[in-house]
Amino acid sequence: MQTDKPREACGIFGVFAREDMDVARVMYYGLYALQHRGQESAGIATSAGGEITCKKGMGLVGEVFDHNSFEKLGGRMAIGHVRYSTTGDSVPENAQPLVTRYAAGKMALAHNGNLTNAGSLARELIDKGAVFQTSTDSEIIAFIIAKEYAAGSTIEEAITLAMKRLQGAYSLLIMLEDKLIALRDPWGFRPLCIGDLDGSTVVASESCALDTVGAKFVRDVKPGEVVIIDNGGMTARQVRTDCQSSLCVFEYIYFARPDSVIDGISVYEARLEAGRLLARQAKAEADAVIGVPDSGIDAAIGYAQESGIPYAIGFVKNAYVGRTFIRPNQDQREAGVRIKLNPLKETVRGKRIVMVDDSIVRGTTSARIIRLLRQAGAKEVHMRVSSPSFLHPCYYGTDVGTHKELTAYRNSLEALCKKIGADSLDFLDVSGLSDMLGGRKVFCNACFTGNYPVRSEKETQQ
Amino acid sequence: MQTDKPREACGIFGVFAREDMDVARVMYYGLYALQHRGQESAGIATSAGGEITCKKGMGLVGEVFDHNSFEKLGGRMAIGHVRYSTTGDSVPENAQPLVTRYAAGKMALAHNGNLTNAGSLARELIDKGAVFQTSTDSEIIAFIIAKEYAAGSTIEEAITLAMKRLQGAYSLLIMLEDKLIALRDPWGFRPLCIGDLDGSTVVASESCALDTVGAKFVRDVKPGEVVIIDNGGMTARQVRTDCQSSLCVFEYIYFARPDSVIDGISVYEARLEAGRLLARQAKAEADAVIGVPDSGIDAAIGYAQESGIPYAIGFVKNAYVGRTFIRPNQDQREAGVRIKLNPLKETVRGKRIVMVDDSIVRGTTSARIIRLLRQAGAKEVHMRVSSPSFLHPCYYGTDVGTHKELTAYRNSLEALCKKIGADSLDFLDVSGLSDMLGGRKVFCNACFTGNYPVRSEKETQQ
Amino acid sequence: MQTDKPREACGIFGVFAREDMDVARVMYYGLYALQHRGQESAGIATSAGGEITCKKGMGLVGEVFDHNSFEKLGGRMAIGHVRYSTTGDSVPENAQPLVTRYAAGKMALAHNGNLTNAGSLARELIDKGAVFQTSTDSEIIAFIIAKEYAAGSTIEEAITLAMKRLQGAYSLLIMLEDKLIALRDPWGFRPLCIGDLDGSTVVASESCALDTVGAKFVRDVKPGEVVIIDNGGMTARQVRTDCQSSLCVFEYIYFARPDSVIDGISVYEARLEAGRLLARQAKAEADAVIGVPDSGIDAAIGYAQESGIPYAIGFVKNAYVGRTFIRPNQDQREAGVRIKLNPLKETVRGKRIVMVDDSIVRGTTSARIIRLLRQAGAKEVHMRVSSPSFLHPCYYGTDVGTHKELTAYRNSLEALCKKIGADSLDFLDVSGLSDMLGGRKVFCNACFTGNYPVRSEKETQQ
Amino acid sequence: MQTDKPREACGIFGVFAREDMDVARVMYYGLYALQHRGQESAGIATSAGGEITCKKGMGLVGEVFDHNSFEKLGGRMAIGHVRYSTTGDSVPENAQPLVTRYAAGKMALAHNGNLTNAGSLARELIDKGAVFQTSTDSEIIAFIIAKEYAAGSTIEEAITLAMKRLQGAYSLLIMLEDKLIALRDPWGFRPLCIGDLDGSTVVASESCALDTVGAKFVRDVKPGEVVIIDNGGMTARQVRTDCQSSLCVFEYIYFARPDSVIDGISVYEARLEAGRLLARQAKAEADAVIGVPDSGIDAAIGYAQESGIPYAIGFVKNAYVGRTFIRPNQDQREAGVRIKLNPLKETVRGKRIVMVDDSIVRGTTSARIIRLLRQAGAKEVHMRVSSPSFLHPCYYGTDVGTHKELTAYRNSLEALCKKIGADSLDFLDVSGLSDMLGGRKVFCNACFTGNYPVRSEKETQQ
């Protein structure tokens, strides 16, 4: 259920138009397609003749922009951002893109990810007399680039030098006077891909945004690569090759939209496969397989395919429960769950049910849903989770896994099963993740294993 | 796709509290559960000590009401309404409930349906000196009841007399000083059911709203029945029995939520069954069955079950496309469809696809979706529609079926198939509707057959 | 100070265009000029080809209407209203104009005033089966006209018959399919005048609104007169002549704008004259005369002229204190007064001050202002009020005079003087009112004298 | 008329509470009293325990803040700002206070004035690698202070060093972790004064804001002085004494509220005196003296006093014309003026009128007003302007005087008189300004004389 899983990770989108194009509209639809990655704020910066116009605000893309915004946001180049605040406070100042003036003119930045050495980088700059206005990584990145440039580097060199200093996750779009630069941290934690829209270039966090604006997928930006897009075309430079590929596996499990393909692997296929693996690994005698909307559906279908148990619709979700929804108070909590998710009695009454979800966060929601299923007449409820259980916090731009409640159950599947009231419970094995990704060996699974590709300053502080 | 199917039919909800209860909140959640029936306006009227407080406005339930509204809407009794304007203009004045002062005090009305003799009833009242402020049936109904009451009837008698004069569809909630009255027209066109919430009584257009507020389903209000709910309990009177039962079959096909049970028949089961019937009646050689979100999904699963062709997710729907969304202009129409619905390439690439939808309105949207499927690599697309084709307008409170485009194709399935670009096309037979409803013989299928249970003044005018 | 004097009395404005004209804009500026008469809600109804479009809402003219409103409000005829709720609740439903459908088509009404027999008229209609949706006089008036029309009268006859039944104050604009009707109750309680705008006809509560839209003053509508404006020109009919002229004297003292001329008398001149009369009647030894902004300024200048004591600016008023202003809480009340009105120390320090205000309502505000003057160094403060003291409630569409606090002081000027902390206090004599109006003998001064031209049902109830 | 004189100059307000106090409310009322100095944006930053909370936005104080803001803005110390954009674009990012993190923690700034060497200061910082996010002087000032602090100075020394580098106008409030610092540039261009509120310290651009919150005036901050307010009390340091006192004379003529006293001189007295001087210097044979609201009123009264010609109200101003007002289009311009300002026919008909205004900007508005007076029947109109004519741009934080139209008339009073359609026209002599200020010799009158106390980079660019 949405309220327990606000686990977005920001989304970025950019356009460099070579044809005549309504750039602001393309940005609008592109960000709409990435809205699931961040719902706190949205922003678009467009560039025309060296001048950058930026419009950003708290809320959804559809709330921040209207027809008037389009008229103001002219230009041939633009970058945009949807934000979920994994770092920095939830205040208007922290909305992106960040637009700054530096020695060579204007520069706009849109950042997806989380630096692991932000604290020491900021401290170093401040000690030399800098002032900071936001609590975002973007401002630190802008400062470092500006400093290197002021010290005599070209802007490309300055970015290269900055990439040597920045640690952690950063998929970045940088808009300068005459070019758009897209880059991905050397570990490749967050996705970033390039598309072609009738000769113009589009960059997006996920390929579903390329589809949405009608662009053709060209390729992913590689970890450690800088791609420079200007009137001359697109040039790429592999700046760093010294880090282990560490794409976040949770992008496949939850963050990304199923219609995206990331680093060559289909998100939908990965989810189906997770369901199939789960069916093999954690069998259940049952009459129907259902998924918890929306993120459990794909794996449920995979589970059904593999197990031969029929797939059925288990819940009807209320499509209108959004940000303005007033949540039930204490007394009405039981009924409250049903407002968002109502079990389909026809599916569950008198049946043994396999219920698939993508993850368990605190367990309270799972417990309530299972109670609803029993009230609706389910004879048995076997919960199957299409990912391993979270045991470690994420330092790379998501907010999964820091829940002490769950950690408490790390040695006892039975205790958790009892807590949520299921007849049986099982998670996908960590060893299954590689199979889920079609055999891919290298990726970040730190939230499940604690094997962090990059140490974080926060980690050491704890 | 939403934009081509704004075919809501209004929803009503009422509470008579016998326990201490936050009536406004129960109303809020009840209306939320009926939001799919009307998104133009929402309103709640609560009654405390003979005084009625009403708050209504244009927009969704979540937009019209906030925490402040709850404080103002006290009381032990309430009725509410969500509206889609099948009759009357889209103006604030027409939002319901309608609150009026009549000879015995205050009266509030919430109406779902459409009178077929509204014009002559209004004309008659106006000719006697009445003035009308809205263009809604509710005002006419209030007037007729008030007139009968003023002429010496009790309010119950006045309502009974009114029911003899009103023709067409009307599921009604009437709130008086000390009682709540629920009634359904003698044909029973629109649904209405009663629930029990810890001793208090709840009335709703659909049973999903009873589930949502945690109430137990008690029974449907019968066609031609008046149910009076007051401190003494609930008393019912069968006012008219002279009309043929004519529940709208399209409630099962499209309007109602799948988790509702109407007049003893599960909406979800009816949709599954429609899919199964379609599979038998209109076979296809294919590799996968997909449904068009959201209303085609259930029938697609039924089709898959019966045909043995695997069910798969065919599209990813953008959950954020709502009322503030700025639609693409002419140039971007192709891309525009993808913003709302993106085909899953993994499902369709190289495959023969059966695509199930609940209906075809103009055909343009179907054509675009099929084009998207082909671009995504589908080898064949066989469209199956889980209802017969609309050939006649509805006069009973919905806006289906008046599309000349479709009528043009009435004699030629092939021409329509060609227009939408499918490899084959088939609709559910009219004869299948009875099977879909588990053998039920009597219901309204006028939009498919032209067999109107009640003549409409509008019909004769045409 | 504004907060103690919300004594507006509604304003109405109408246009019948004979030239091509942006009718909605003319309405907008006309209502802006009447905004001081009512700030609770505003509305405009325009008519084009028998269809009436109405836009109304809570708030100021500038809040209710924007550029979009203008586009929607086309037509060649329009009426508008600004409301202060002297009768009826402060709810959106009560905003005017009221648009109704009656036997001959559409009718819109805008009403300024207050019926004194509304209760019995409504009761009579309700007892015959009518329903009422608002708590406004306008709905009653519409009903009575519609009933007479339905009974066989022409619309002009129906209006004439209605005027025989309506008692109390009503300046009315009625818009029908092809004509605009302006009328004034037989007593002429509230003003109404006609102007010419390049051949088109304009009707307004006050002549300042004619100036504002650039129209020339033609004449006042006479008490008991009905003026019909249509394509053929303007025709007038004196319907009733049986009542004593009773124009509200408080229009001159407070309600109307000083740049208006009502029934041949300049509001500004009347106020100057009130000051002069006061100077003669209630002399004071002083160094400066100041007025309480804004309504006491004109009389202060008159007082200065007559007394020879120099006029000076006594206070600076904060122009930004409006509806969104958050008032000080208890602790900050002293400072709170200064936020709206700050004494000019240079004017008052060490001086004997005559302070002129148009009226005293509760006396608390006067007390606070006088305390501020003393803190600013005033040696003496002599308060002079340019009207007699309120002793009786108004039943004709204003809310002056029902303050028990003041009544308590009716026999004791000294006690009130002490309460407000003045060195001396005097009011204009009732006998001075006629002089103030240049010798006019007949007008309504019931709030001062209790001589009511028409008995009110409410009065008898008390 | 307002629209031609958007000549605000920003206002700042600060509180250091030593008693228990609702700091946010005091700030709110303080800024309300300074609203006339800037209407583009408003902001308040409060400090509690080293953490700074800031709320700012576009619009008036009453629009930016509501009850909720008060709850969030806790603390014992606060600074606030109302802005008119004399420098920097009209965008949300430029709203003040500016909150930054520097080497010793958080720092908030509110600035009134305009640096004349902002360009070179910014360029120098940027060349060393700084990035700028706004186009305001405040960011430059924050940077310079932070740099000096990082280089080893105490914060007080850093501020002192900064004051040696900053040129032009800056009245500043700086809020640090435990102290509030108020300072004024060495020329003293903009006002700044200190008040005592029951033991707590208040700082404001104008003394009217001290009155408003109930504080007692203590003293003005001296040009070149830094005042440090903390728990220990108030300490002052005269940092620079090398500049000529250059208080802006136009503060007296127009910017400041008449109830303010700046550097010992009453604004109201100065305006009265300007009127008196004008009466002596530029006599007129006339029947009445009127002032153009609001800024011409005081001088008109002075003119009347000195000349013996009676003062009268010449215009009624529409108090509701504000930011939401939709201006008349081309066709309605004539009428358009009357919407804001309607002449009082009773005052002007058949009379010879002296009309006093504080200044003439482009002359178009004066021309329109004079035309209105003539239409209202004025026999003669003699315009008297209570300041010399603008001939030179201002570089110190206002936007007066850069109008080429006027400059064209510099040698020809007659031509301008003809343009505006007056019978005679006269301005206050430059030599009269010193008399107006009671003999004060040193002040800035550059907009009239071109004698700039500090050269501006912009000046040289031109």
Choose among A433, A361, A428: nearest CA to A394: A361
Instruction: Please give the single-letter amino acid code of residue C249.
Output: V
The answer on pLDDT for A401 being more than 60 is no
DSSP-derived 3-state class of residue A375: helix
The answer on pLDDT for D211 being more than 80 is yes
Tell me which of B243, B275, B310 is where a domain ends: B243
Most B-contacting residue of A262, A316, A321, A344 (CB-CB within 10 A), to test interface = A316
- Which is more confidently placed, A456 or D381? D381
The answer to whether position A260 is within a domain reads no
Q: Are C342 and D259 contacting, i.e. CB atoms less than 8 angstroms apart?
A: yes
Residues D13 and D97 in one domain: yes
CA distance C316 to B120: 64
Tell me which of D213, D243, D273 is where a domain ends: D243
The answer on pLDDT for B297 being more than 80 is yes
A218-232, C87-101, D347-361: segment of lowest average pLDDT: C87-101
Neighbours of B20 (CB within 10 A): 8
**Residue numbers in C near B133 (CB within 8 A):** 98-101, 133, 139
pLDDT of residue C287: 98
- Which of B100, B129, B146 minimises the CB distance to C147? B129
pLDDT digits (tens, 9 = 90+) for B54-78: 999 999 999 999 988 888 888 999 9
**Residue numbers in A near B297 (CB within 8 A):** 313
Average pLDDT (C183-187) is 97
The answer on pLDDT for D3 being more than 50 is no
CA distance B227 to C399: 46
- Which of B131, B132, B150 minimises the CB distance to C128? B150
Q: How does the average pLDDT of chain B come out, rounded?
A: 91
Q: Are C261 and C207 contacting, i.e. CB atoms less than 8 angstroms apart?
A: yes
Supply the ipTM of this predicted assembly. Answer: 0.91
The whole-angstrom distance between C147's CA and the closest CA on chain B is 4
Average pLDDT (D5-11) is 66
Most C-contacting residue of D318, D323, D347 (CB-CB within 10 A), to test interface = D318
Choose among D227, D197, D256, D217: nearest CA to D26: D197
Most C-contacting residue of B133, B143, B149 (CB-CB within 10 A), to test interface = B133
pLDDT of residue B86: 62
- Which of C65, C305, C339 minimises the CB distance to D33? C339
Interface of A with D (CB under 8 A): 92, 98-103, 107, 126-133, 139, 142-143, 146-151
pLDDT of residue A407: 55
Residues B191 and B293 in one domain: no
Q: Is C371 exposed, middle or buried (0-12, 13-18, 19+ CB in 10 A)?
A: middle
Q: Is the dihedral of CA D166, D171, D176, D178 positive or negative?
A: positive
CA distance A54 to A314: 44
How many residues are present in chain C? 462
Residues A136 and A285 in one domain: no
**CATH code for position D355:** 3.40.50.2020
pLDDT of residue D84: 85
Residues D221 and D313 in one domain: no
Interface of D with A (CB under 8 A): 92, 98-103, 107, 126-133, 139, 142-143, 146-151
Q: Is the dihedral of CA C1, C3, C5, C7 positive or negative?
A: positive
Chain centroid to Cα A99, Å, comes to 23
The answer to whether position D252 is within a domain reads no
User: In chain A, whose CA is at the least distance from the CA of B339?
Assistant: A212
The answer on pLDDT for D70 being more than 90 is no
CA distance C355 to C370: 9
Band (A386; pLDDT cuts 50, 70, 90):
very high
The answer to whether position A252 is within a domain reads no
Band (D462; pLDDT cuts 50, 70, 90):
very low
User: In chain B, whose CA is at the least distance from the CA of A211?
Assistant: B338
Choose among D142, D190, D196, D266: nearest CA to D38: D190
pLDDT of residue D160: 95
DSSP-derived 3-state class of residue C326: coil
Residues A296 and A163 in one domain: no
Band (A4; pLDDT cuts 50, 70, 90):
very low
Residues C219 and C286 in one domain: no
Band (A2; pLDDT cuts 50, 70, 90):
very low
- Which of D126, D132, D151 minimises the CB distance to A129? D151
**What are the residue numbers of the active site of D?**
10
Total structural domains within chain C: 2
| Domain with D373 in it | 265-319+326-461
Beta carbons of D130 and A151 less than 8 Å apart: no
- Peptide bond connecting B298 to the previous residue in cis, omega within 30 degrees of 0: no
The whole-angstrom distance between A314's CA and the closest CA on chain B is 10
The answer to whether position D288 is within a domain reads yes
- Which of C92, C129, C142 minimises the CB distance to B131? C142
**CATH code for position B141:** 3.60.20.10
Residue whose entry in the numeric block shows the structure tokens 């004594």: C7
- Peptide bond connecting D426 to the previous residue in cis, omega within 30 degrees of 0: no
| Chains B and C touch, contact meaning at least 3 pairs of CB atoms under 8 angstroms apart | yes
User: In chain C, whose CA is at the least distance from the CA of B99?
Assistant: C133
A103-117, A392-406, A409-423, D224-238: segment of lowest average pLDDT: A392-406
Residues D426 and D302 in one domain: yes
Band (D404; pLDDT cuts 50, 70, 90):
low
Beta carbons of A131 and D100 less than 8 Å apart: yes
Residues A374 and A225 in one domain: no
**Residue numbers in B near A273 (CB within 8 A):** none
Residues A156 and A289 in one domain: no
- Which of B32, B268, B332 minimises the CB distance to A318? B32
Q: Are C427 and C387 contacting, i.e. CB atoms less than 8 angstroms apart?
A: yes
Q: How many CA atoms lie within 13 A of D202 on its CB side?
A: 32
Radius of gyration of chain B from its Cα atoms, rounded to whole angstroms: 23
pLDDT of residue C462: 44
What is the pTM for the complete model shown? 0.92
- Which of A212, A259, A338 minimises the CB distance to B335? A212
Beta carbons of C129 and B142 less than 8 Å apart: no
Most D-contacting residue of C29, C265, C373 (CB-CB within 10 A), to test interface = C29
pLDDT digits (tens, 9 = 90+) for D331-347: 666 666 788 999 999 99
CA distance D462 to D458: 6
Average pLDDT (C193-204) is 97
HEC string of D205-237 equals CCHHHHHHHCCEEEEECCCCEEEEEECCEEEEE
Choose among B296, B289, B435, B300: nearest CA to B360: B296
**Residue numbers in B near A269 (CB within 8 A):** 346
The answer on pLDDT for D216 being more than 70 is yes
Choose among C301, C290, C279: nearest CA to C426: C279
Residues C281 and C203 in one domain: no
The whole-angstrom distance between C283's CA and the closest CA on chain D is 21
User: In chain B, whose CA is at the least distance from the CA of C101?
Assistant: B132
- The tokens describing C367, both together, are 């007390």
Choose among C80, C69, C84: nearest CA to C180: C80
The answer to whether position B218 is within a domain reads yes
Q: Is the dihedral of CA D451, D453, D455, D456 positive or negative?
A: negative
CA distance B143 to C131: 6
User: In chain B, whose CA is at the least distance from the CA of C146?
Assistant: B129
pLDDT of residue D31: 97
| Chains D and B touch, contact meaning at least 3 pairs of CB atoms under 8 angstroms apart | no
Residues D314 and D216 in one domain: no
User: In chain D, whose CA is at the least distance from the CA of C213?
Assistant: D335
Residues C297 and C338 in one domain: yes
List the A168-175 sheet strands across, edge first: A98-102, A105-115, A168-175, A179-184, A225-230, A233-238
- Peptide bond connecting C294 to the previous residue in cis, omega within 30 degrees of 0: yes
Beta bridge partners of C316: C342
pLDDT digits (tens, 9 = 90+) for A403-448: 565 555 666 889 999 999 999 999 999 999 999 999 999 999 998 9
Q: Are A127 and A112 contacting, i.e. CB atoms less than 8 angstroms apart?
A: no
- The tokens describing C37, both together, are 């008469």
Beta carbons of D65 and C326 less than 8 Å apart: yes
The answer to whether position D248 is within a domain reads no
Residue B336, H or E segment: helix B333-340
Tell me which of A189, A212, A243 is where a domain ends: A243
Distances, alpha carbon C267 to alpha carbons A452, C291, C296, C355, D316, in Å: 83, 17, 13, 20, 12
pLDDT digits (tens, 9 = 90+) for B90-149: 788 889 999 999 999 999 999 999 999 999 999 999 999 999 999 899 999 999 999 999
Beta carbons of B143 and C150 less than 8 Å apart: no
**Residue numbers in C near B100 (CB within 8 A):** 131-133
